[in-house]
Amino acid sequence: MAYRDFQHFLEVLESKGELKRIDAPVSPYLEITEIADRVMKAGGPALLFTNPTGTPQRRGTPNHRSAVMREPSIDPAARPGGEIKYAHPVAINTMGSRKRMSMALSCEDFEEHAERIAALLKPDVPGSPLEALRKLPQLLGEIKTVPPKKVKDGICQEVVMMGDEVDLTQIPVLNCWPEDGGPYVTLPLVFTNDPVTGKRNVGMYRVQVYDRNTCGMHWQMHKTGQRHMESAGDQGRRIEVAVVLGGDPAYTFSAISPLPPGIDEMLFAGFLRRENARLVKCRTLDIHVPADAEFVIEGYVDPSERRLEGPFGDHTGYYSLAEEFPVLHVTCITRRERAVWPATIVGQPPMEDGWMGKAVERIFMPMIQLTTPEIVDMNLPVEATFHNVAFVSIRKKYPGHAFKVMNAIWGLGGLAFTKFVFIFDEDCNVQDFGEVLFRIGANCDPARDTLHSRGPVDQLDHASMAEGFGGKLGFDCTHKWPGENGFNRDYPKLITMADDVKAKIDRLWPSLGL
């Protein structure tokens, strides 16, 4: 079931007991974060704050570069009366559980999409012409619903604000943490077109609100949005940018998905929702955006312009420091008549993004296995913020196989950022922390079974030797083979019970009263 729009998704969540309305006046400055953080860590429901009310605040404690910073936060003195009752409710934690993440992707469990991808990557060869004809409607159905469609209008343009009407400070953008540089758009879909090829990119990059019509655009060095801006700069021109909030949550997931080069995020969204994404042309840009969005912020970035952005309480659990980033100049805001503001928060895990990341891990496993077929399973622990640690089980076939897989992982898209890779035999359940720790302790000799490497890391990794560049360490936690890296003894067997005894006790168990 594809959702008509974001509010349709909220209605379904509420009907399933997965959404709680908060009618008390709560401020977007820190208070919504504190409530949402407690609920997320307790495994609680999605929240809809129907009465966001508060006073805009200045930035938090300045860092060592504050002397050269322009004040980015909204000044309460500029707002008559100080306190604001915002017109738009705030929705948060809408994908903060396995159930809600699966509901967001229009399925019972998000592993279903992994099975669909696996079937497309490794299709069964029909046994006969008749069988091929029977499978044809299913194949055509998948293909027909994938490509996005352009439409003339949509609810995202029911209200259009240009010129002096543009005022981001009237939207309940969250100040998440006390030291944040200001309010942040935390769940944006950032649309740009490649200035050379015209191909669309949709990414999720945080957006800091400086004032009523200026924002900081956090394009990191490894991101496609950064590449598009650089290409525009090479041509001596600005790049158009549309920041979209809301729509079918499949769009949000597509924006964070590690898609192969050339795969359009809106095409992938059509695959997930089994229905085409409908796109409408922006009012001031040559960019098409989801017609069912709640808000669309239109503008441009001058590649030669920079402004200090941050600090920001990030998914690392620490504040990312203020740095120079591009500036988004807003030319137009469109929205639906009674819009809801979608938001999330990041910080010390577990958070809502943990389930978004876990869905990415599971859904894209078939693509990882396509390039590295010896991989049986993988676990990117939420507690390690995903890109820091990977537990991987493999079908080991030869000495040194674990080291081959480590190097393969460090060459796979976003997995290249993984700092610690642990490789296990195929009989290890890498989803079980207890079993993983047992195998690490039992099978890994740090002097023999480690591989040190260097390469790109997350630009937000404050522990790395340089920004965006650092070390990686792999651990071979598999059973050692004779002659493997100098190992010359018999390797002991793992203790297991005989299968016939286990089967007998299974039959006897109900009568034991245990």
Q: Which residues of 240-265 are buried (b: 16+ CB within 10 A; e: fewer)?
A: bbbbbbbbbbbbbbbbbbebeeeebb
In a domain, 349, yes or no: no
Reported as a single tens digit per residue, the pLDDT across 318-343 is 999 999 999 999 999 999 999 999 99
Reported as a single tens digit per residue, the pLDDT across 22-65 is 999 999 999 999 999 999 999 999 999 999 998 765 444 444 33
Q: Are 281 and 150 in contact (CB under 8 A)?
A: yes
Residue 218 CA to residue 214 CA, distance in Å, equals 13
Q: Helix, strand, or coil here: 115? A: helix
On whether both 80 and 222 belong to a single domain, the answer is yes
Q: Residue 254 pLDDT more than 50?
A: yes
Residue with tokens 């992707």: 105
In a domain, 250, yes or no: yes
On whether both 329 and 397 belong to a single domain, the answer is no
Residue with tokens 């950032």: 190
Higher pLDDT, 77 or 39: 39
Which is nearest to 155 in space by CA: 47, 14, 3?
3
- How far from each other are the two terminal CA atoms of the chain, in whole angstroms? 44
| Total-model pTM | 0.87
**CA of residue 494 relative to chain centroid, distance:** 38
Residues 6 or more apart whose CB falls under 8 angstroms from that of 103 comprise 9, 12, 13, 16, 18
Which is nearest to 40 in space by CA: 268, 468, 382, 306?
382
On whether both 27 and 132 belong to a single domain, the answer is yes
- Domains identified in the chain, total number: 2
Q: Are 439 and 476 in contact (CB under 8 A)?
A: no
> What is the rounded average pLDDT of the residues 124-130?
55
Reported as a single tens digit per residue, the pLDDT across 349-382 is 999 999 999 999 999 999 999 989 999 999 999 8
Residues 6 or more apart whose CB falls under 8 angstroms from that of 448 comprise 485, 486, 487
Q: What does the pLDDT read at residue 331?
A: 96
On whether both 182 and 287 belong to a single domain, the answer is yes
Last residue within a domain, chosen from 295, 322, 342? 342
On whether both 163 and 89 belong to a single domain, the answer is yes
Residue 487 CA to residue 484 CA, distance in Å, equals 5
On whether both 310 and 390 belong to a single domain, the answer is no
Last residue within a domain, chosen from 327, 342, 357? 342
Please name the residue ranges forming H helices in 160-301.
Answer: 224-234, 249-256, 265-273
| Percent of the chain scoring above 70 in pLDDT | 90
Q: What is the DSSP letter of 178?
A: T
Residues 6 or more apart whose CB falls under 8 angstroms from that of 142 comprise 116, 120, 271
Catalytic positions, please? 314
**CA of residue 26 relative to chain centroid, distance:** 27
Amino acid at 217: M
Integer-rounded Cα radius of gyration of the chain: 25
Residue 121 CA to residue 277 CA, distance in Å, equals 23
In a domain, 347, yes or no: no
Which is nearest to 73 in space by CA: 30, 31, 32?
30
Taking the CA atoms of 25, 28, 34 and 37 in sequence, report the sign of the dihedral they define. positive
Confidence of residue 215 (pLDDT cuts 50, 70, 90): very high
Q: Are 55 and 83 in contact (CB under 8 A)?
A: yes
Residue 272 CA to residue 264 CA, distance in Å, equals 13
Question: Which residues constitute the domain of residue 140?
Answer: 6-342
Strand partners, 493: none
In a domain, 506, yes or no: no
Angle between helix axes 265-273 and 249-256 (nearest 10 degrees) is: 130
Q: What does the pLDDT read at residue 262?
A: 82
> Counting runs of H as helices and runs of E as strands, what totals does the chain give?
13, 25
In a domain, 362, yes or no: no
On whether both 96 and 235 belong to a single domain, the answer is yes
Last residue within a domain, chosen from 342, 362, 381? 342
In a domain, 514, yes or no: no
Strand partners, 425: 394
Q: What is the DSSP letter of 294?
A: S
In a domain, 367, yes or no: no
**CA of residue 150 relative to chain centroid, distance:** 26
Which is nearest to 107 in space by CA: 419, 471, 435, 362?
362
Q: What does the pLDDT read at residue 467?
A: 84
Residue 488 CA to residue 466 CA, distance in Å, equals 40
Going from the C-alpha of 167 to that of each of 181, 388, 460, the distances in angstroms are 19, 39, 30
On whether both 337 and 392 belong to a single domain, the answer is no
Residue with tokens 């995020």: 265
Higher pLDDT, 201 or 413: 201
Which is nearest to 372 in space by CA: 399, 400, 410, 398?
410
Q: In this structure, what is the dihedral angle of CA atoms 316, 318, 323, 329, given to the nearest 10 degrees?
A: 70
> What is the rounded average pLDDT of the residues 254-259?
93
* CATH code, domain carrying 455: 3.40.1670.10
Q: Rounded to 5 degrees, what angle do the CA atoms 34, 459, 327 make?
A: 75
Confidence of residue 145 (pLDDT cuts 50, 70, 90): low
On whether both 78 and 184 belong to a single domain, the answer is yes
H or E, element range at 403: helix 401-409
Residue 173 CA to residue 215 CA, distance in Å, equals 12
Q: Residue 395 pLDDT more than 90?
A: yes
In a domain, 19, yes or no: yes
Q: Which residues of 402-416 are buried (b: 16+ CB within 10 A; e: fewer)?
A: bbebbebbbeeebbb
Residue 479 CA to residue 132 CA, distance in Å, equals 44
Strand partners, 20: 47
Residue with tokens 């240009």: 162
Q: Rounded to 5 degrees, what angle do the CA atoms 347, 338, 275 make?
A: 75
On whether both 467 and 422 belong to a single domain, the answer is yes
On whether both 50 and 198 belong to a single domain, the answer is yes
On whether both 331 and 387 belong to a single domain, the answer is no
Reported as a single tens digit per residue, the pLDDT across 433-472 is 999 999 999 999 999 999 999 988 877 788 888 888 999 9
Which is nearest to 106 in space by CA: 225, 270, 256, 351?
270
